[in-house]
Amino acid sequence: MFPYYLSLGMSYEEYWMMSPGLKKAYREAEIFRREAYNYDAWLQGLYIHRAVTASLSQAFADKKSKMVTYLEYPIAMTPREKEAEKERNRQRTIRWFMNEGKIDGN
């Protein structure tokens, strides 16, 4: 088991001299790292899928089909990014209503 904990970044002194609770913390930290890595890989795949879809849509679309475009902004992950996305959507809705009014002549 010692080589496993060394691979997690635990030192010789930590493994042999510290409490067993520290070993559990290293194992749990490794699980979190793997989950984060897996999520990052999934997210990268999502971005690549969107890029390929947008490229193929523009390359093979006929005049009647709607073009798929690449994302304007990164996918919102943090609360600050989510709030900025809400504000962009709010501004987009306001612009849409203002343009609709002009088109209808109101």
User: What is residue 106's predicted lDDT score, i.e. its pLDDT?
Assistant: 44
Over the range 17-43, which residues count as b (16 or more CB within 10 Å of their CB) and which as e? eeeeeebeebeeeeeeeeeeeeeeeee
Q: Determine which helix (DSSP H) or strand (DSSP E) holds 89, and give its type and residue range.
A: helix 79-104
- In sequence order, what DSSP letters do the residues of 25-57 get, joined into one string? HHHHHHHHHHHHHHHHHHHHHHHHHHHHHHHHH
Q: Is the pTM of this model over 0.75?
A: no
* Average pLDDT by stretches of 10, the chain with 106 residues: 90 88 92 94 95 90 83 89 94 88 50
